[in-house]
Amino acid sequence: MSFPRPNLRPPAADRRAHRVAHHGDAYDDPYFWLRDPGYPKVETPEILDYLRAENAYFEAAMEPVTPEVEAIFSEIKGRLKDDDASVPWVEGGYEYRWAFEAGADYRQWFRRKVGAGDWTLIFDEPAEARGKPFFRLGGFAVSPCARYLAYSVDDSGSERFRLFVRDLDTGATTDLGQAETSGEIVWDAGSDALFVVLLTEEWRPAHVVRVRLADKAATTIYQEASTGFFIHITESADKAYLLIRTADHVTSEYRTLKKGMGGAAEIWRKREAGHDYSLDHDGGGWLVLSNREETNFSLYRAAGPDDWSLILAGSNDRYLLSVHPFQTFMAVMARDAGLDQILIDSSEGWQALPFGEAAYEVSPGHNPEYDQQHFRFGYSSMVTPASVFDLDIASGARTLRKEQEIPSGYDKSAYVSERIMVVARDGAEVPVSLVYRKDWQKSGKLHLYGYGAYGLGMSPSFSPARLSLLDRGFAYAIAHVRGGDEKGRAWYEAGKLKARTNAFHDFVDVSRALIDRGYSTEGRISISGGSAGGELMGAVLNEAGDVYGAAVLHVPFVDVLNTMLDADLPLTPMEWPEWGNPLNSAEDYAHIKSYCPYTNLAAGAYPAIMVTGGLNDPRVTYWEPAKYVAKLRTLKDDDTPLIMKINMEAGHGGKSGRYDRYREVAEEYAFVAAALG
């Protein structure tokens, strides 16, 4: 890619004196001023002016590849079914489904009585989103009596959801006066009230209330005092209990409330540092998935918080992820030797469903009815489009209910998927998933993706958009680095806190191994990652930037040290168990400072770099990518592109519309394709 010369010049952010000092160490942060003092409101004119100038520069810099952006966007749209629809599901005597009208960015939701009648529109997202630059539907729950629909909406990308209830008999909609919720909704038993989680001003989900429909009165059920613990709510599988989970990344605690009983929630088992458990309830009592005896979790039946009996044990090879109880059977999502599994209890013990491909993704589907006799799940691989199956429990038969349709055409046989292992510098074996066209030439262009944090594994799933890269001569790979949980909980533990740099080293070692094995050559690899994966990208560019030809950092967590020193940010106290607490620990401070991508930027040559952010992002604040780009502009000594786009009306996930999101993907792909030539 080349910029027009000599007229195009990037913005230059002011440098302003700001000294940071902790534990006898000090450093300068001349771009600290980009953090608006009124945050979460961002209203300082000079900050907004700078961000708009960067966006204008982005548009000007991308102008030479606009035709390619449009071509890729058109290809992606051609692979999306315009009038796509879900597989219907049954809940409370009704069938439900969602569908897109041709060309629509948002869904419409329908229902009908089971076995009879026409579909009735109950919620029209396109109508609700009209005139809004951003629209995201959060909770969506029909009351037990089936008359009322409760839903929550975020119209800014800030992840602050407003709560509404619609009478499905009359169509009347009521704003329940709760504008700062997490979006989660659980109905009470009598359909006369619902439970929601309220956010603090700093965007911390900390307060569970019961809201009555009749008068909108909100009664406190539980309030979390610790700034390091966030709240989530669900209902039990048998729908008898409200379950309140408070947790950071390593420790959890549950409170329960029998629905329809009123009162405050009762603690089930007190938090113990390092004990992570999940709780559910079925006809047999309590079910607990816990790591107290096995790092990879085990499943227990519990008569109470201290009276447990083992149902299914995890092991070094078997990692238990979630349990799904029903009236007559139970399903457990697991990972065996790094591959997704579904385990079903039977008269012959726990049975694993067989899957034929070398690497794939399996996930639980929508299974709302406690007495249903099937288990719905999703399946895809890097060459197999997303599919929905129903497993009949009695017969064991699988019924394909839907396979993702590619209207413009897709020949699965034209592509190849591989799973290889790379030995990292310390001997750890890092899985790598690859996909490419059969006619792809080795030592060509390769795009490598990574994340590696919070124990969130990156599954080798299908992407219709990715075909645009593959058809342009790229191979695509996922480096399953430490910090994710692809190889179990220990894989996660080996990529956090003091071991965080393992994730960076794994990614670099995978990159070099792919070159050594002939998959690509130096400078012909593009890389990308978002959020904590953006931190990964920043760190590997600092360590081995010469290996890569292009990098895309989406909403990147690159200002790690400053963010972990800022206890006023909503996520920081909760994040200390993941990254360390540099406020209290000189050792943690020194370790984070040693790898922080922003802190460790240095003068030199860099590959082509695209950075994105969201002004309303509460997870990775907009100033992290802004400061990173501003500083890097003063240090690059080459003419490779460095561009940044801040979504001024969106948050962590970028734009909200179905097609708007893919236009941003098209920009990324056009950028890396041009950068690699």
Active-site annotation holds for 317:
no
Bridge-based pairing of strands 266-269 and 277-282 is unpaired
Measure the CA–CA gap between 29 and 21, rounded to whole angstroms: 11
* Other Cβ atoms within 10 Å of 456 Cβ, number: 16
Residue 437: which of 460, 419, 416, 420 has the closest Cα? Answer: 416
CB 188, CB 168: distance < 8 Å: no
Catalytic residue among 468, 531, 588, 591: 531
Residue 227: which of 583, 520, 480, 495 has the closest Cα? Answer: 583
Measure the CA–CA gap between 299 and 398, rounded to whole angstroms: 26
The single-letter code of the amino acid at 647 is N
Sign of CA dihedral 60, 61, 63, 66: negative
Q: Terminus-to-terminus CA distance in the chain, angstroms?
A: 8
> Phi and psi for 489 in degrees, rounded to 5?
-60, -35
Burial of residue 161 (number of CB atoms within 10 Å: 0-12, 13-18, 19+):
buried
Catalytic residue among 188, 340, 617, 656: 617
Measure the CA–CA gap between 133 and 49, rounded to whole angstroms: 20
Active-site annotation holds for 652:
yes
Active-site annotation holds for 531:
yes
Catalytic residue among 207, 249, 374, 652: 652
Helix (H, G, I), strand (E, B) or coil at 425: coil
CB 397, CB 385: distance < 8 Å: no
CB 628, CB 642: distance < 8 Å: no
Measure the CA–CA gap between 542 and 548, rounded to whole angstroms: 11
* Other Cβ atoms within 10 Å of 411 Cβ, number: 8
Q: Which residues are tagged catalytic? A: 531, 617, 652
